Chain A
Amino acid sequence: MTLLITVIAAIAATVVWYANENRDTYRLGTLSLIYWGASLMWLMDFVFEYAELKAEYFNQEFADILNDSLLGVAVVALGLVAWLIILLIKDPKGVFKKKFAK
């Protein structure tokens, strides 16, 4: 579930990056790359676990699925926080500069 939620977040971020004219200003590429990087890493983790457990991998307890889903949502939130921190540090619109120059 964590992999699935992260892949969905990566696709959503990429669509927003593609459709938005201000993609460079808001560093939307960075946001989608953050999610794609994590998705690729978890994909490899899945491949190794699947090779070991085969179809048994998909027979999970409801509690495990719920825990993985919560982790997925938390991971998406953490990715957004990381992107927001980068955006505020880079300050592409010079908001802080204008504010402190007053």
Chain B
Amino acid sequence: MACFVVPGAEAVVVTAAYFVAKKREQKLELLKLDNTARYETAEPRITWSKRLGWLLALLWGGVLLLAFEHFWHGEVVPFPPFLTAMSSPEDTAEMLAEMGSVGVSMAVTVTAVWGLICAVAEAKVRKLRTALKKNAA
């Protein structure tokens, strides 16, 4: 009915977090340029903006395709109230229940898989760092 709204709300919050992280990293980059001696030993690492970028692609991609699916089934319309389930109180209650079960599960699953991707990527980068340190020694 409108389960994609829950990951959609998460996507909005993550988008804001992504821009905050990106701004912080840009500030840090400027600091590095000002003080090259202090930051000379740069190691390979995955930035938070990169990690959040993966989550954004997962969430917005899923939300876009699911919104299209709901449009296909006539559950989303291009005019107010946009969700056909909002036309009657019974349907609205059913829609909210579905958002609470299916929608929340979707958001949790996508976030959990993203966490797994980050953990694997971090392990790979850590391995690379160790190899680089061994080569340098």
Which residues of A pack against B, CB within 8 Å?
A: 2, 6, 29-30, 33-38, 40-45, 47-48, 71, 74-75, 78-79, 82
Asked whether, in the complex, the Cβ of B62 is within 8 Å of the Cβ of A38, the reply is yes
- CB neighbours (8 Å) of A6 from chain B are 65
When the two chains form the complex, which single residue of B54, B62, B72, B101 contacts A41, counting CB atoms closer than 8 Å? B62
Indicate if B60 sits at the interface (CB-CB under 8 A).
yes
Asked whether, in the complex, the Cβ of A48 is within 8 Å of the Cβ of B105, the reply is yes
Q: Which 6 A-B pairs have the closest CB atoms?
A: A34-B61, A37-B62, A33-B57, A37-B58, A38-B65, A37-B61
Chain A interface mostly helix, strand, loop or mixed? helix
Asked whether, in the complex, the Cβ of B109 is within 8 Å of the Cβ of A37, the reply is no
**Most B CB atoms within 10 A — which of A2, A37, A42, A71?**
A37
Chain B interface mostly helix, strand, loop or mixed? helix
Which residues of B pack against A, CB within 8 Å?
A: 3-4, 7, 54, 57-66, 68-69, 72, 101-102, 105-106, 109-110, 113
Given A2-B69, A40-B113, A74-B72, A45 and B3 contact (CB-CB distance below 8 Å)? yes
Asked whether, in the complex, the Cβ of B59 is within 8 Å of the Cβ of A37, the reply is yes
Give 26 CB contacts A-B under 8 Å. A30-B57, A33-B58, A34-B57, A34-B60, A34-B65, A36-B58, A37-B58, A37-B61, A38-B61, A40-B109, A40-B110, A41-B4, A41-B109, A41-B110, A42-B66, A42-B69, A43-B109, A45-B106, A71-B69, A74-B68, A75-B65, A75-B69, A78-B64, A78-B65, A78-B68, A79-B61
- CB neighbours (8 Å) of B65 from chain A are 6, 34, 37-38, 41, 75, 78-79
Asked whether, in the complex, the Cβ of B61 is within 8 Å of the Cβ of A33, the reply is yes
16 new A-B contacts at CB < 8 Å, known A40-B113, A41-B65, A74-B72:
A33-B54, A36-B58, A36-B61, A38-B62, A38-B64, A40-B62, A40-B110, A41-B62, A41-B66, A41-B109, A45-B102, A45-B106, A48-B102, A71-B72, A74-B68, A75-B68
- CB neighbours (8 Å) of B68 from chain A are 74-75, 78
Asked whether, in the complex, the Cβ of A44 is within 8 Å of the Cβ of B109, the reply is yes
